[in-house]
């Protein structure tokens, strides 16, 4: 493909609802995505998170699908991975998720999954963008109808894949006032756990607000105060998870992947190594080396991780941020499934002592900039990155990259001490602000 993508970022089309992501754009995306399919009457599932703009964009997207001759099936509020599972199990042609993941409620997004339950690749997204600019041929209108039972189908899939007995386990679940607010408590209770759900009362505007996987303080305090053994925090659309142990200490995606990889390797279920992104901590790589488990490194984004897993025929991978993929269940990040994987590997042990990994201190700063793509030509920034990286050679590392969805430059430093990591990061942030803000 020669067409360069303009709308699709790391994880779909995302921006401020009503300003960037308008109903008109959603309708056009629905029409173009449906028009890109070969089926005579495409069947397209739509699910969404709990943002107040969700119903508006759902209606607009469905209108575009129907205008292109497809049937829009409205699944309502469901976690992102449920869309992937339902698309494959029901033999649908496409699934669309309306969500901006961990972003504030004012933002929203649209991302697509194929009928095989995988995120669309770059070429498929480029075809959709090309069709946005083309004159669409008239088609007999399709229908818009409700898809009932989607939540129950998703819960049954989880229960079948993770037949755990969690009787006696006390668990706190932070549902980020988002798409997991029904599904996560329901599956843990079905498996016998005593569940306390927090941030499980969405009002359209409180999604991710001081809660969820990007704000662990509330969960940590609640777990420590309640005497629960463990807590899990999901993001707004439910495709990522982080954990806190019984003392309220946080554990990120790297640590949960290490735990899962060690257990799966012991049982002969790993089928190779693990795939992670450039953001994974140096301590992760050291733990995998000690366990004799091969690691493949990809660019940021769970889609890149999945591509690498499929290329190698591996089953497990993910991101430090909490996107964890077990392709034996679904070919995308699933926060609830990852939480159940963690419970399976713990087998009643305390998370604080079960993770065989010592993290190198890491400092990450998001720098707001006018134009994130401008970093590619900022010579002074890359000279500073090279200089600071050389100073940490063999002891740590520097990573600087633009966000795929926001006007931010992410500056990450790992060093033997927090003090050194902070100092290096501060110097780099200063250069980025001077050159790009």
Q: What is the pLDDT of residues 55-74, one digit of tens each?
A: 999 999 999 999 999 999 99
Closest of 185, 207, 204 to residue 194, by C-alpha: 185
Residues 249, 127, single domain; the answer is: no
Of 98, 119, 148, which residue sits at a domain end?
148
Please tell me the distance from the alpha carbon of residue 274 to that of residue 314, in angstroms, as a whole number: 7
Give the pLDDT of residue 417: 94
Instruction: Tell whether the torsion through CA atoms of 107, 113, 119 and 124 is positive or negative.
Output: negative
Residues 374, 338, single domain; the answer is: no
Give the pLDDT of residue 437: 80
Q: What is the mean pLDDT of residues 388-412?
A: 89
Just list the catalytic residues: 101
Closest of 288, 99, 279, 269 to residue 180, by C-alpha: 99
Residues 82, 165, single domain; the answer is: no
CATH of the domain at 407: 3.30.310.50
In a domain, 279, yes or no: no
Q: Which residues of 56-77 are buried (b: 16+ CB within 10 A; e: fewer)?
A: bbbbbbbbbbbbbbbbbbbbbb
In a domain, 2, yes or no: no
User: Quick one: pLDDT band at residue 301, thresholds 50, 70, 90?
Assistant: confident
Closest of 76, 72, 83, 74 to residue 118, by C-alpha: 83
Residues 327, 192, single domain; the answer is: yes
Cβ contacts of 207 within 8 Å, gap of 6 or more: 49, 50, 51, 104, 105, 176, 177, 178, 236
Residues 386, 336, single domain; the answer is: no
Q: Give the structural domain span for 123.
A: 13-148
Residues 245, 341, single domain; the answer is: yes
Closest of 125, 324, 315, 318 to residue 232, by C-alpha: 324
Is the Cβ–Cβ distance between 100 and 236 less than 8 Å? yes
| Residues 34-52: tens digit of each pLDDT | 999 999 999 999 999 999 9
Give the pLDDT of residue 282: 84
Q: What is the mean pLDDT of residues 152-167?
A: 98
Of 305, 335, 354, which residue sits at a domain end?
354
Please tell me the distance from the alpha carbon of residue 401 to that of residue 406, in angstroms, as a whole number: 12
In a domain, 298, yes or no: no
Residues 349, 374, single domain; the answer is: no
Give the pLDDT of residue 5: 54
Please tell me the distance from the alpha carbon of residue 36 to that of residue 55, in angstroms, as a whole number: 24
Residues 426, 335, single domain; the answer is: no
| Residues 87-145: tens digit of each pLDDT | 999 999 999 999 999 999 999 999 999 999 999 988 999 999 999 988 777 788 999 99
Residues 232, 381, single domain; the answer is: no
Cβ count near 161 (within 10 Å): 17
Predicted TM-score (pTM) above 0.95 = no
Element (H, E) at 435: helix 418-436
| Mean pLDDT of all residues belonging to the chain | 94
CATH of the domain at 198: 3.40.120.10
In a domain, 303, yes or no: no
Q: Where are the alpha helices (DSSP H) in 119-277?
A: 122-132, 150-161, 183-190, 217-226, 253-266
Give the pLDDT of residue 228: 95
pLDDT exceeding 90 applies to what percent of the chain? 86
Residues 103, 122, single domain; the answer is: yes
Q: How is residue 12 annotated by DSSP? A: B
Cβ contacts of 405 within 8 Å, gap of 6 or more: 9, 10, 11, 14, 103, 109
- Nearest 5°: CA angle at 151, between 37 and 14? 50
Of 148, 178, 213, which residue sits at a domain end?
148
Residues 226, 349, single domain; the answer is: yes
In a domain, 369, yes or no: yes
In a domain, 389, yes or no: yes
């Amino acid at each position: 493909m020669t067409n360069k993508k303009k709308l699709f970022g790391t994880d779909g089309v995302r921006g401020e609802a009503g300003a960037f992501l308008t109903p008109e754009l959603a309708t056009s995306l629905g029409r173009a995505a449906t028009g890109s399919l070969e089926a005579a009457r495409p069947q397209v599932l739509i699910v969404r998170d709990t943002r107040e703009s969700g119903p508006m964009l759902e209606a607009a997207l469905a209108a575009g699908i129907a205008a292109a001759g497809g049937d829009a099936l409205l699944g309502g509020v469901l976690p992102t991975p449920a869309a992937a599972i339902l698309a494959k199990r029901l033999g649908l042609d496409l699934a669309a998720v309306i969500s901006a993941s961990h972003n504030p409620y004012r933002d929203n997004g649209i991302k697509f999954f194929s009928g095989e339950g995988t995120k669309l690749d770059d070429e498929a997204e480029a075809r959709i963008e090309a069709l946005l600019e083309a004159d669409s041929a008239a088609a007999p209108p399709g229908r818009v109808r409700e898809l009932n039972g989607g939540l129950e189908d998703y819960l049954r899939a989880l229960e079948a894949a993770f037949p755990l007995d969690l009787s006696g386990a006390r668990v706190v679940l932070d549902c980020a006032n988002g798409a997991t607010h029904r599904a996560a408590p329901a599956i843990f209770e079905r498996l016998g756990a005593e569940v306390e759900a927090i941030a499980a009362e969405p009002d359209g505007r409180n999604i991710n607000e001081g809660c969820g996987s990007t704000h662990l303080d509330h969960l940590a305090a609640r777990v420590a105060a309640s005497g629960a053994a463990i807590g899990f925090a999901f993001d707004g659309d439910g495709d990522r998870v982080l954990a806190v142990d019984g003392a309220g200490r946080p554990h990120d995606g790297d640590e949960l992947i290490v735990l899962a990889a060690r257990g799966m390797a012991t049982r002969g279920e790993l089928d190779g190594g693990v795939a992670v992104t450039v953001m994974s901590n140096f301590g992760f790589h050291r733990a995998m080396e000690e366990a004799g488990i091969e690691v493949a490194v990809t660019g940021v984004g769970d889609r890149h991780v999945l591509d690498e897993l499929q290329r190698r025929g591996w089953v497990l991978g993910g991101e430090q941020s909490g996107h964890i993929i077990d392709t034996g269940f679904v070919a995308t990040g699933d926060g609830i499934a990852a939480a159940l994987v963690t419970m399976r590997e713990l087998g009643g042990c305390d998370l604080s002592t079960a993770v065989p990994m010592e993290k190198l201190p890491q400092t990450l700063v998001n720098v707001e900039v006018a134009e994130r793509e401008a970093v590619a030509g900022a010579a002074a920034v890359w000279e500073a990155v090279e200089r600071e990286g050389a100073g940490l050679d063999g002891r740590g590392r520097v990573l600087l990259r633009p966000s795929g969805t926001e006007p931010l430059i992410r500056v990450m430093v790992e060093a033997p001490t927090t003090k050194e990591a902070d100092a290096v990061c501060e110097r780099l942030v200063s250069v980025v602000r001077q050159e790009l803000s």
